[in-house]
Amino acid sequence: MTGASKTRLTFKKIKLALLVRSHTSYRISREIVEKHKLDKKLNSKELQKKYLSKKAIPEISRLSYALNLPYKPLWKAIVLKKFQSLSRRALDKEKIKIYLAIENELIFLSIARNNKSYFKDSDYEEEFALLSMAIERAAGNSLKEIKDDFIFSKQLEVLQRKYTYWYYKTAYRYKLPTIRIVPFILRLIKD
């Protein structure tokens, strides 16, 4: 295997591993499970037998084509909730860690928004507000040990700018959809 094809393979593995742990994947899998009413009582072998073909769940096939990712690992992530491990060859480990922290906060905030337990203000109904809240929470989690409020607020501002840059840089580098693109992807893969 040549160096270029090895790099491309590693790139696609990292892209898939990041995508299946993202808010985008959470939203898409939720939509697909609701639409196809996947039986949670079936084990993985029965699910594979019933739904693995590209015609059984065409949304995953369209998503695979649109994002240029292999079908079977994407299907496993969405239907079986089996995530591919993150490659050790990733170059930007700290940026990827921050990206995943922000994506986890986005998932938490979207669940809270659906439960209406966390949101009192209508300003936070917008997707961009969710992203800024997720970045703020991820930056705040990095500053847990700081006790002084003034130092905390100054460092929080710096980390928020840095994390925003890293989030978009990682999404751009691995060609990952951000929260703003999720509605378009959902429209694209629907009938």
- Tens-place pLDDT, residues 129-146: 889 999 999 999 988 888
Q: What is the mean pLDDT of residues 9-21?
A: 84
Per-residue model confidence (pLDDT) at position 14: 86
Q: Give the residue-averaged pLDDT of 183-187.
A: 85
Domain residue ranges of the chain, discontinuous segments joined by +: 3-85+181-189, 93-173
For residue 53, is it left (φ>0), alpha (ψ between -120 and 50) or beta?
beta
Tell me the pLDDT tens digit for each residue of 71-129. 888 888 888 887 777 767 667 888 999 999 999 999 999 888 877 755 555 555 566 68
Q: What percent of the chain has pLDDT over 90?
A: 24
* pLDDT higher than threshold 80 for residue 187: yes
Residues 86/14, Cβ–Cβ less than 8 Å: yes
φ, ψ (nearest 5 deg) of residue 101: -65, -40
Going by pLDDT thresholds of 50, 70 and 90, the confidence category of residue 157 is: very high
User: Average of pLDDT values for 35-58?
Assistant: 75
pLDDT band at 158 (very low <50, low <70, confident <90, very high): very high
pLDDT band at residue 164 using 50, 70 and 90 as cut-offs? very high
- In angstroms, rounded to a whole number, what is the distance separating the alpha carbons of residues 110 and 105? 8
* Mean pLDDT of all residues belonging to the chain: 82
Position 167 pLDDT exceeds 70: yes
pLDDT-based confidence at 165, cuts 50/70/90? very high
Strands of 20-168, DSSP E: none
- Rounded to the nearest 10 degrees, the angle between the axes of helix 182-189 and helix 58-67 is 130
Residue 28 is predicted with a pLDDT of: 86
CA quadruple 174, 179, 184, 187: dihedral sign: positive
